[in-house]
A and B are shown apart, each in its own frame.
Chain A
């Protein structure tokens, strides 16, 4: 089946620094990737939709200058959390669509900002 990977799986960074998270579709090409954030005991919150070769579409309330998304190829999208603060600590999950009706999810990245 379709496999999506994320790197790193865990990252700890200091407040004020930037962190980049990669999302890769390993065995298929994904024109669209999605980035989600999940708080403890909460559902997944869609942050943005990433299309290959174009600017990402951000959901209302998500700061595009803080969460930079780049989708440079059909198999790679990156999320960069700029000037991270403790409140950015969360579980970040990406998904990629192989067809127009199913999304495949990555294993997630646990970000802790100290």
Chain B
């Protein structure tokens, strides 16, 4: 059974700091991995999606990497801002197809202090 782990559960950093959020998964035979952002009481916003054949994806100040063989992914946030404060979840998908499920980690709650 696939398990996704995100440690630590919470992180507080000063504004401007570069930071890395970690995600690990037990079954390396994934189809893709997605990073999401969730604000309190809100739904999920997709940030980056990495296919199993890719090593990284970038969007603005965000960079996500994937090391499938070791079962790890990182989300790098450059020059963090208070507006980045949110919970970040990673999720893996084992196979392609519309019915393919996502398995989520518990998320990392990030607080960026002004």
A positions within 8 Å CB-CB of B: 4, 6, 31-32, 34, 41-44, 46, 49, 51, 57, 91, 93, 95, 97, 100-108, 110
Contacts and interface: CB of A to CB of B under 8 A. Distances in A.
Interface of B: 4, 9, 31-32, 34, 36, 41-46, 49, 51, 89, 93, 96-102, 104-107
Task: Identify whether the interface residues of A are mostly helix, strand, loop, or mixed.
Answer: strand
B99 A32 contact: yes
Given A34-B101, A49-B99, A104 B46 contact: yes
Contact of A108 (B43, B96, B101): B43
Given A46-B101, A51-B99, A103-B102, 11 more contacts: A34-B102, A41-B9, A43-B4, A43-B89, A49-B99, A93-B44, A95-B44, A100-B98, A101-B96, A105-B36, A105-B46
A4 B42 CA distance: 13
Contacts of A91: 41
Contacts of A32: 98-99
Contacts of A106: 43
Contacts of B42: 107-108
